[in-house]
Each structure stands twice: as C-alpha cells, then as structure tokens.
Homo-oligomer: A and B are copies of this chain.
Amino acid sequence: MPIMIYLAGPDVFLPNAIEVGKKKMAICEEFGFEGLFPADNDFGAKAGSAAIFRANCAKMKRADIGVFNLSPFRGPSADPGTVFELGFLFSQNRPVYGYSNARKSYVTRVAAAAGPLQHRDGRPVDRDDRAVENFDLNDNLMIVEAICASGGEIAFPPEGQDAFASTALETIPAFRACLEIVRRRFH
C-alpha cells in the first residue's frame, strides 16, 4: 500500500481544477505516493456544501500525510478551507507539509497588500491599527508552527524554475520540491 497524501489547496477553485488535481496525483505516483485530491469538484455543479464537507473529511481520515498548498488566496494568507484542513489533520497527529508560490514573509505581504505599515510600541500594525505578526514566518503563526511541530517544512519554487509555473496558484515547482522533502523523510 503506498503512503496516502491529502492534497489540500485552493487548486479546487481553478478553471482547470480537475486537470490540476489529476496532474498532482500523477506527480504523487511518480514519487511513490498516492494522492487524494479534495472532493469539491467530484459531484458536478449540483453538489451540496455538506456533501463536499463530509467527503473531504473522509478523504483526510484516509490520508497518512497532509500536503498543503499555502499560496496566498484572496488576501495575504492561505485559503481558509485549506487552513481548516491543516488544523484538522494536525489535530489527528498526521505529519503536515506546506508549499507556496510566495516566499516572502507574512508581514511583507500585508504591507504590499494594504500599504505601508505603522508601528505601535515598536511593533508593526496595519492601517486599521491591528497588529501584524512579525516573526519572519510565511503566514499566521498557527499555520507555520503546526507544520514545524509535526516535523514538516514549507517548500517554495526552487531558483531557476519556470517563472510562470512557479507563481501560478497551483505552483507545480513548489509542489515537486515539497514531495521531494516528503520522499526523503518517508521512503
């Protein structure tokens, strides 16, 4: 039985989501794993949200490892559905790994999205005077520290890769870099 990897990410919202899912599952196979892609597009246009939720939870429970596409989605952070699943699988004691098309720190991304940061008591705040986590992490500390605590890592597109593929939401180069780390750990 190959090790099963749950492939969380906002890839399910892409116009070519089914194709991207098949591609990532094929790459898993190439690395000796079996990939489980979320069920969001499995039921056609008439799927109910409760059915998708239950199917995703069932797939997560079948998985041995979680690999999370943490590329920023509609804001400076990862897709919240993906982050929910990270909390779920971490809590189930599964090893969790991340990959992202955005190597910059969270604080840098917030500044880029929302304009220059101010400071309060020496710590960065956004234009609404809300603190911006400044730990030199790639996203909210709960996301990054969960991955570290489980023994995982976050991978980015290696230097010199195809720039378009690297920055695309599905970021295949970062995904491959992540699976390379997982393979070294588990094979």
Residues of chain A having any CB pair with chain B under 8 Å: 10, 12-15, 17, 45, 48-50, 52-54, 56, 74-81, 83-92, 110, 113-114, 120-123, 125-126, 129-133, 135, 137, 139-146, 148-149, 169
Number of copies: 2
Q: Which of B114, B121, B132, B145 contacts A53 (CB 8 A)?
A: B145
- Main SS class of interface, A: helix
Q: How far is the CA of A131 from the CA of B81 in the complex (A)?
A: 13
Q: Which of B49, B52, B75, B132 contacts A75 (CB 8 A)?
A: B75
Inter-subunit contact B50/A145 (CB<8 Å): yes
Q: Please give me the residue from chain B that is nearest to A110 by CB atom.
A: B74
Q: How far is the CA of A15 from the CA of B127 in the complex (A)?
A: 12
